């Protein structure tokens, strides 16, 4: 019997070593390929599978949910998420093509007394050109009233890619808007345009007086040198904007946004140009951003995960994740969790890979659980 126990103990030790090795290799690259903290995975419950390419999600004060769909429809879901109760009227036409369409949605910080809803979308211009725009309207029942476009990306250009776009309110009730480079590259460095930029505006579209002063820049520009930022959030307890953005072949980034900062695109990236053999030798501009550009907090190599909607988790449902970054992954078909110590990544792990779903957005519900939208049309609740 003692001999059997010894054999069993040896086998358990070998198994533990194997599990540790798998964990150490489970990252998708990045600055140090850090091993994630091993946690029990959340339980995924499909609440709704009747949505059509949902993109953004916002919780109404009564617990119902506003959801945008890429083709241009905005709907209200029941408090349990299982039923589409109403379609919202008053949404202006969108240019739904490629990566463009009806995009993000947020509620006014004073929604209870001033029920403004804000959304971003691909807006068609003259001669087939398009650009990201932001509009707002008062939600009365299931109707948007007093709809007005409060911001338009400058200029509109050809193509159907890299619109961004996430909307995030600061504590001072100003609005951040992330804007993609529209697959044009070098305009992300051109301060006379808002391609490849983060901008900050007031709720009515006017400009705050305390935006960073950047020589030669449009006054709404908060940061520049971005490629396609499709996830953004303000870190709790601060007014720091953080975002995730797409690299080319590899080089997806998690960034802490420095006001006035230049994040390097398309002059530098840890990713490689399309068509180049993937590896360290092909990193654009050598990869390392500093000192000329702002270095990312973390990055993903050698392949892209295509990051999407992002939050900092503050709920009680998963207390072990307090303060962690969570973001959807399109190419990676996962929900990524990134653990931070200050401004340093200490662990990361992909979750929900078994679902094999392109996760477009993640939001924290008023109940403390997580809610994710998938490109296949699902609303999924994550709980213990």
Question: So which residues are the catalytic ones?
Answer: 162
Distance CA 360, CA 40 (A): 23
CB contact at 8 A, 233 and 311: yes
Distance CA 332, CA 328 (A): 9
What the block records as the tokens of 131 is: 């650009």
Buried b (16+ CB within 10 A) or exposed e, 156-166: bbebbebbbbb
Whats the size of the chain, residue-wise?
384
What the block records as the tokens of 355 is: 């679902």
Distance CA 340, CA 272 (A): 26
Report residue 282: phi and psi, to 5°: -100, 5
Handedness of CA 203, 209, 211, 216 (dihedral sign): positive
**Number of Cβ within a 10 Å radius of residue 343:** 10
What the block records as the tokens of 92 is: 């202006």
Distance CA 58, CA 106 (A): 6
Distance CA 377, CA 356 (A): 13
Handedness of CA 339, 289, 249, 152 (dihedral sign): positive
What the block records as the tokens of 172 is: 């001072």
CB proximity list for 280: less than 8 A, separation 6 or greater: 287
- Helix boundaries (H) for the chain: 2-24
């Amino acid at each position: 019997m003692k001999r059997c126990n010894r054999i069993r103990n040896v086998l358990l030790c070998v198994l533990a070593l194997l599990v540790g090795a798998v964990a150490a290799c489970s990252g998708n690259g990045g600055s140090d390929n850090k091993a994630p903290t091993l946690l029990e995975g959340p339980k995924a419950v499909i609440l709704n599978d009747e949505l059509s390419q949902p993109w953004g999600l916002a919780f109404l004060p009564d617990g119902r949910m506003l959801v945008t769909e890429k083709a241009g429809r905005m709907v209200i879901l029941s408090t349990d998420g299982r039923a589409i109760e109403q379609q919202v009227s008053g949404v202006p036409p969108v240019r739904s093509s490629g990566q463009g369409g009806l995009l993000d949605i947020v509620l006014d910080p004073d929604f209870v007394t001033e029920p403004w809803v804000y959304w971003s979308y691909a807006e068609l211009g003259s001669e087939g050109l398009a650009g990201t725009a932001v509009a707002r309207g008062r939600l009365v029942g299931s109707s948007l009233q007093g709809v007005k476009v409060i911001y338009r990306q400058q200029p509109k250009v050809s193509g159907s890619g890299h619109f961004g776009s996430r909307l995030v309110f600061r504590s001072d009730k100003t609005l951040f808007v992330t804007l993609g480079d529209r697959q044009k590259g070098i305009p992300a460095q051109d301060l006379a345009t808002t391609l490849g930029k983060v901008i900050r505006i007031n709720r009515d579209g006017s400009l705050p007086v305390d935006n960073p002063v950047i020589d030669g820049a449009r006054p709404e520009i908060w940061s520049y040198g971005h490629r396609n930022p499709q996830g953004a959030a303000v870190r709790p307890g601060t007014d720091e904007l953080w975002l995730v953005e797409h690299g080319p072949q590899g080089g997806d980034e998690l960034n802490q946004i420095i006001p006035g900062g230049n994040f390097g695109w398309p002059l530098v990236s840890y990713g490689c140009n399309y068509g180049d053999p993937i590896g360290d030798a092909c990193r654009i501009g050598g990869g390392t951003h500093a000192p000329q550009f702002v270095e990312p907090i973390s990055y993903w190599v050698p392949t892209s995960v295509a990051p999407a909607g992002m939050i900092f988790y503050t709920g009680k449902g998963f207390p072990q994740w307090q303060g962690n970054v969570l973001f959807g992954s399109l190419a990676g078909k996962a929900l990524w969790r990134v653990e931070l110590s200050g401004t340093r990544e200490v662990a990361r792990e992909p979750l929900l890979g078994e679902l094999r779903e392109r996760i477009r957005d993640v939001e924290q519900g008023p109940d403390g659980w997580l809610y994710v939208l998938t490109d296949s049309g699902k609303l999924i609740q994550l709980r213990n």
